[in-house]
Amino acid sequence: MQQAVRRWLTGAVVGVSIVALSGCGTIFYPERKGQMSGSVDPVVAIANSVGLLFFIVPGVIAYAVDFSNGTIYLPSTSSASVDVHRLDDSMDVATLEKLLSEKAGQPVSLEHELMVIEEMDSLDEALAMVRMSGVLDEERLGTM
């Protein structure tokens, strides 16, 4: 009987450690990866805290994974997005400006000196370029 309880307890500790080491927010909400800031999701914070109950290290690692991935934050009500549009060779600059203006809700000029247009191989590459662009850095860093 004692050996069965010991096995069950060992299995429970190993299971909780694996979940805590991978970060609960990363498991529960993988679509949140890449968020920079926001309100902390109490469900994820409590789930990560369970790791602190068993051992300090798994809980701290769970928090570190979720903060570094951005999965501990609740989704923002206003967010930027990347739309994928396949452009054919027949599309001219005026048509592209019209499409972008409709999507942005404001006039867009591709002739502006700060406008850079690049073709990306994948959506992940495009998202990485948006993150590295410095857009909203003042807001994220609190230097406004």
- Per the CB < 8 A criterion, the answer to whether 127 and 82 are in contact is yes
pLDDT in tens, 14-26: 776 665 556 677 7
Instruction: Kindly list the domain boundaries of the chain, sorted by start residue.
Output: 2-69, 93-141
pLDDT confidence of residue 83 = 66
pLDDT in tens, 88-121: 777 787 888 888 888 778 888 878 777 767 777 8
Average pLDDT over residues 47-76: 79
Nearest-angstrom CA–CA distance, 115 and 88:
20
pLDDT confidence of residue 123 = 77
Residue-by-residue DSSP string for 72-111: TBPPPSS-------PPPTT--HHHHHHHHHHHHTS---TT
Nearest-angstrom CA–CA distance, 70 and 135:
17
Nearest-angstrom CA–CA distance, 144 and 137:
9
Place 45 in a pLDDT band, splitting at 50, 70 and 90: confident
What residues have CB less than 8 Å from 82, skipping those under 6 apart? 123, 126, 127, 130
